[in-house]
Amino acid sequence: MPSKKFSSTATVAKMSKKILLQLDVDPHPSSFDAVVAVDAGVDHLLPYGNVESEAVESLVHGAMFTRGGDDLKNTALFIGGNDVVKAESIFRSVQKAFFGPVRVSVMLDASGCNTTAAAAVASASKHVSLNDCTAVVLGGTGPVGRRVAQMLARQNANVLLTSRSLNRAESACKEIGEQVSSGNLEAAAPENQDDFKALLERADVIVASGAAGVELASKELIHSLSELRVAIDLNAVPPAGLGGVEAFDKAKPLHEGQEDGPVAYGPIGVGGLKMRTHKAAIAKLFTSNSLVLDADEIYDLTIEQMNR
């Protein structure tokens, strides 16, 4: 009889539910992130909104100390929200709350910053070797642009990071350079159309990650670039960030009828890979209690998903 009871208890332990704490800096936790989590196989989603750094420790400890041993891997944390800077602060606070091996896995993807950037860079890698290529990141000081630049530099690309402010562009390059030792980062803030065109004429790859609904480069300018191999627009709100690039474009020839010429990707064109990566990353959180999924880890996972 006792042995039977022990067997039953062991079976229950093996069947522990996968619990994801969704820590969101917005008042209402993202419904998008919640749906993806459920589709990725999470059994119970615990959403928290308006999360502040000072409240993180108690939430993390509640996740850590309720389970032990191998069962720790069945609890994980996802950090999201539209304010990526605040989310990054939460991400750091979460990791400070861990006690050595007593920890749970955690993922940062506020406003889709990591999965979107990873899908864009991985898509570009299908058409051009990123090693030593020249890539221009338009709107490079925003959360997605910074991660695009970081991922490109990690692949040893020469990255031209643009902004309307040279100081902001230089600051972004410095911060990225502290995290990545490969590649080359160059800040740029073209003051006129001639300077802007000269900058884009150097590009093998252009990724537009600027503010929603703002055209950063015209169709005429994009089509005039002789070195361009890949044009990626991540702006889902009309007008397009890159003129002539449509939302659903996915490796579409930029010049009609020119199959061996440059290709274009729109936000939905990279969206399929982004979604596969997002789900795969959530599922991976529950394979270990010690994973930290940020830009570099999510990029590696994106490459795996793309090559399947």
CATH code where residue 105 lies: 3.40.50.10280
Residue 69 lies in a domain: yes
- Same domain membership, residue 244 and residue 278: no
What pLDDT, in 10s, does the model give residues 68-93? 888 999 999 999 999 999 999 999 99
- Same domain membership, residue 186 and residue 255: yes
- Same domain membership, residue 264 and residue 138: yes
Q: What is the mean pLDDT of residues 289-306?
A: 97
Residue 5 lies in a domain: no
- Same domain membership, residue 247 and residue 105: no
Residue 165 lies in a domain: yes
- Same domain membership, residue 285 and residue 242: no
**What range defines the domain where residue 253 resides?**
116-270
- Same domain membership, residue 260 and residue 186: yes
- Same domain membership, residue 239 and residue 294: no
The rounded distance, in Å, linking the Cα atoms of 115 and 110 is 9
Percent of the chain residues topping a pLDDT of 70: 95
- Report how many domains make up the chain: 2
Task: Decide the pairing of beta strands 292-293 and 105-108.
Answer: parallel
pLDDT higher than threshold 70 for residue 9: no
Which residues face 46 on adjacent strands? Answer: 21
- Same domain membership, residue 281 and residue 260: no
Q: What is the mean pLDDT of residues 124-143?
A: 96
What pLDDT, in 10s, does the model give residues 97-125? 998 899 999 999 999 999 999 999 999 99
**pTM value?**
0.92
The residue that leads in pLDDT, 90 or 308, is 90
Contacts of 92 (CB under 8 A, 6+ apart): none
- Same domain membership, residue 238 and residue 132: yes
Q: Residue 259 belongs to a domain with what CATH number?
A: 3.40.50.720
- Same domain membership, residue 251 and residue 224: yes
CB atoms within 10 A of CB 97: 17
Contacts of 273 (CB under 8 A, 6+ apart): 119, 122, 123, 302, 305, 306
**H helix and E strand count, the chain:** 11, 12
- Same domain membership, residue 138 and residue 52: no
